[in-house]
Each structure stands twice: as C-alpha cells, then as structure tokens.
Amino acid sequence: MIEIRWHGRGGQGAFTAAKILGAASLIDNKFSLAFPSFGPERRGAPIQAFNKIDGKAIIDRSEIKACDYLIFLDESLFSTDYLKDLKDDGIALINTATPEKFSAFSQIQTIDANQIALKIIRKPISNTAMLGALASISDDVSLSSLQQASDLYLSAASAAKNQLILKESFEYFKEVR
Amino acid sequence: MTKAFLSGNDAFAEGVRLARPQVISIYPITPQTTVVERLSEMVEDSSLASELIHVESEHSALSCAIGASAMGARTFTATSSQGLLYMAECLQYASGGRFPIVMMNANRSTALPWNIYGDQRDSLSQLDCGWIQVYVEDAQESLDMALQSYHIAENPLVSTPVMVNLDGFVLTHTYETVEIPSQTDADRFLPPFQTENKMSLDNPKNLAFSVGPDNNMEFKYIQHKAMLDSRRVIEETDAKFAEIFGRSYGGLTQDYRIDDADYILITLGSITGLCREVVDELRERGEKVGLLKLRFLRPFPSDDLVAALESAKAIGVLEKDISFGYEGTVYTNVNSVIAKNGLHLETYNFIAGLGGRDISRENIKEIFRHLQTGGQHVNFIGLGVSIDE
C-alpha cells in the first residue's frame, strides 16, 4: 500500500489535491482513501491530508504512521523531524524556490511549484503543481488520470489552467532527471 | 450504476437522493454538515425533488420531520452529538408515534470537554429511545443503508424510525470508491411510501394522542413487538437488496472467520475493517480468532450472537463508549445475551477511540492477546498515551 501525507495551510488546496489523487487512482483501476486531518479548519493554519492507495480495497482506516511520500505545499511547514516518518525508500517532496537548502538530504526532492502556479493562474496555489510533480517522480499515479480527475474537483475555468500546471510540473522533473 | 469517489457523507446523501424523500429538514452540525449541504445542492440542481426546510435547531429538525411524516410524506433529517441530544424529546415522539423517519447520525463525542471528533457515546446514550439503530462500516454501506432503512422503517409490521450511524470523520469525511445504483434499480427496490398512519381529510383519525394507565402499557408492548418483528424485515430487506444490487451485509450481524474461532472480537462501525485485517494476520500464524460486526444495536441481534458465540472460549466487545460508573453499554447488552443463554465463556470490554483517539493495528493485536491470556474485564485502550508518540 502506498501511503501519502500532505502538509499545507488552510486554503492552499492540500485536501483537494488528496481528493484528485484518490479519484485518479479510481481511474487507474486502483483503490484509495483520501481524508483530511480531522477537526476544525482555519484559513492559513497548518493542515494535513492523507492518501492510501492499493491494488485491493482498503479497509484499514487508522492513521498513517509511515509514508511513501510526504508532500509539503508550503516549505515553512517542513522540519527535518518529519523525515523519520518516511518509509525506507520514501521521498519528501517540497515546494521551494531555494532547493539548495535541502540538497544535503537524499530523500528530498524539490520543485518551485509557486512559480509555476503564479505564471499560469497568478496565485501561489501549488496543489496541482505538486500533483504533477508526484506523477513525475512516482509510478503510482499517471498524469493522464490526474488530468481527468482534476476536472471533477475544479471549476471549468480553473480546470483548464490547472491542466497546464499539471503538465508543466510533470515535465519539470522529467527535465531535471 | 456508476462509480464515484465519495466521502461517507456524500455517499449517504446519494442514498437519500435515490430514496426520493418528499420532505427533508436540515440543521447543520459538524461532522454531519456535508450531508445536508449535498442534499441542498441536489434540490437546487433539481436532481432531487424534495421540500427542503432549513429549520432553526435540531429539536425543530426532528419536529418538522414528525409533522411531515404525519402527513404521509417520506422524510429525512440528519444530526450528530449535541444535536442528537437536543432532539432527545422528539426522538420518543417519533418512535411512539410510529413515524418511519430515517435519520443519519454522524457519531461524535459529547460535551464536556467539548470535542467535535468521533465516538459512539451520542447514539448509544439514546439506545432506549425506540429507534432502530444501525452502525455502518464504509461509504458503500452508508449509501446502501440509506436506501434499506426506508424499506425497513416503512414496512407496516415495523413502522418505526431508523437512525443510521456513521463514525464521525473516519467515515463521514473519508473519500473512497462507491457504486451509485441507478434510479431505476432504486425504485425497483423501494416503492413509494404508503401508510394508514397519517392525517387525512378522507379518513380522519386521531394521531399522537394521550393514553392513560388503562391502555398505555399495551401501546408500549406493541411498539416493542414491532421492533422485535423488524428483525425478520431487516433480513428480508437485505435479501431483496442483494437480489437487485448484488450486495448483502448479512442482516443484523456480519461474521468473519468465526467458524472454528476460540476468540471472537465484537465490533461496530468503521473500526471493523482494520479488525478484519488483524484477524487475517493472526489466522496466518495459526491463531483461532474471528470477528462479529454488530450492524444493528436495536433491535438487538440476540439469536445471531448466540449462534456466533456458543463455541467460543472468550469474546471481546470493542466500543467507543463508556457508561460512566459501569462499563461500555454494548458490553452490558452482549453479556445479557450470554447469561440468559447459559453460554460458558469469558467476556472482556475494550473501550477505545473516545473523543476521536486513533485505534491502531497494534491496539487490536493487544486486544486479541488479552482475549487469549485473560485479565481485567473492562479495559481502556491507549489510555494515557499520546497519539503523537
């Protein structure tokens, strides 16, 4: 089972990203759960969202303890303490404009998702860019399924632009590699 | 039939839409809110033709549903926690008046300390209010029981309201794949609501009346008898549902690997899935363990329990509930069946998940170890341990 934890701030779309990823897994004929950190939500306050993805129905609804991917929509939420929550070959994916800060850690991959989002939607909402990046570094979800699924959770006007964001962030990692 | 990626609340709202209620009274409360939001959107976009009434409190929400049901309308409302408790007076009016209302309750802890997270103390505190109580495990069962509940409640032998309980957040706010039946199949399963128990100018009668000591006890006995009779209707409904939709939940209980099990864990609600996985893991190591999910708490599945537990050596009841000063209420109910039927087995109570505390795989393994080694009868799981550790 692939287990993912999203870190963001209220309003950055972390849970929307988790829902899009879950719906994309359904398109890929896999099973998934998507759930938010439970409880009250406030704009700007740290929130978490979670995905479990598997080839069979998922009946374990307990909290995720060890992650295949940790995804930080906001680098101010990152702390090296979180790296111990990764599985052995797990990856932390961080949205940052200063990748050199993280170059000492082999488990960390970075992308300037804000810059891609600002260019296309003129807002620093990085959730779909981080999804595109995830599809690029992982075999667990495909870009085409994410593109189909994002249409389900985003308004028509925003969906078209987010298709561009998904594609650009996906290609960014292909180039880096 | 279509597949969709929905939360427990979304799935329940889809089930309500397919049941075509004529009146829906709504008053939002976390974590129930998204159910009534989805239903409002459905009425707005005309995918559901229903009179949606936004009332000013939970007391009014259920009063409104009672009034609509007394006019012969199929009705729906939903609540949670303090909202359910605020409805307490009306719960007994609805069941005593024999109004087959269906209500979703998002299981949430009760104040104080105030807390919006899940546990089962809200609905279990209302076990004696005369409503049928169902506890569901996942989003699919949520949708399916929205439909089935009307079929059970409106059967003339039953004519009793149904409360469908979804664990707050863990189920209400978790998204997963759900099959949404077609309206044609739903209509084939659930015919329009027809009742004699309504106000009618053509056939005027007295409803919701007073009855003194001379006859009151007979009314209460008839109400009790209807609840007992509902057991057969619940099983027939499950069979009819399976025939049309291909999914069966086994009636009042659902067992898992109990055939030769010495140690059986009894669960309700969304924790059941994880417990099944632990049963599989322990079975691989040769441990004779099994699981029994209680789907209905009222009517109480006494016969199913006797059949499932009679050859076990020890059983445990896992519940998100404590009746202060005694033990978990589900445990008390289970023990009564065991005593009445002379079963010789040890019983243990595991109180967990109060106020939203996570119940982990390790917790469930500890519970099965406790069943095998014996020990205290009433146990609090994870007490004093931070979930962050």
Q: What number is the average pLDDT over the span B153-159?
A: 98
Query: 């009434």: which residue's tokens?
Result: B53
A19 vs B118, B168, B175: nearest CB? B175
B356 vs A35, A38, A59: nearest CB? A38
In CATH, what number does B253-380 get?
A: 3.40.50.920
Query: Closest residue of B to A58, CA-based?
Result: B273
Quote the CA–CA distance of B164 and B43 in Å, as a whole number.
22
Asked if A32 lies within 8 A of B276 by C-beta distance, the reply is: no
Quote the CA–CA distance of B309 and B344 in Å, as a whole number.
10
Structure tokens at B383: 């007490």
Domain A2-176 in CATH 3.40.920.10 = yes
A vs B: CB pairs below 8 A: 73
Quote the CA–CA distance of B128 and A30 in Å, as a whole number.
42
Q: What number is the average pLDDT over the span B169-188?
A: 97
Asked if A32 lies within 8 A of B177 by C-beta distance, the reply is: yes
Mean pLDDT of chain B: 97
Asked if A38 lies within 8 A of B169 by C-beta distance, the reply is: yes
Cβ proximity of B231 and B275 under 8 Å:
no
Parts of chain B belonging to CATH 3.40.50.920:
253-380
Quote the CA–CA distance of B5 and B17 in Å, as a whole number.
17
User: pLDDT over 90 for what percent of chain B?
Assistant: 98
Torsion angle, alpha carbons of A152, B269, A58, A126, to 10: 40
Asked if B359 lies within 8 A of A62 by C-beta distance, the reply is: yes
Cβ proximity of B382 and B352 under 8 Å:
yes
Using an 8 Å CB-CB cutoff, list chain A residues near B117.
38-39
Answer yes or no: is pLDDT of B373 > 90: yes
Q: Which segments of A1-126 does DSSP mark as H helices, in order?
A: 14-27, 113-121
Domain residue ranges in chain A: 2-176
B174 vs A31, A61, A152: nearest CB? A61
Tens digit of each residue's pLDDT (9 = 90 or more) over B259-276: 999 999 999 999 999 999
B174 vs A35, A40, A149: nearest CB? A35
Answer yes or no: is pLDDT of B386 > 70: no
How confident is residue B385, by pLDDT bands cut at 50, 70 and 90? Answer: low
Using an 8 Å CB-CB cutoff, list chain B residues near A35.
169-170, 173-175
Asked if A23 lies within 8 A of B5 by C-beta distance, the reply is: yes
User: pLDDT over 70 for what percent of chain B?
Assistant: 99
Quote the CA–CA distance of A9 and A42 in Å, as a whole number.
8
Using an 8 Å CB-CB cutoff, list chain A residues near B387.
63
Mean pLDDT of chain A: 93
Answer yes or no: is pLDDT of A177 > 80: no
CATH class of B2-193+209-245: alpha beta
ipTM for the complex shown: 0.94
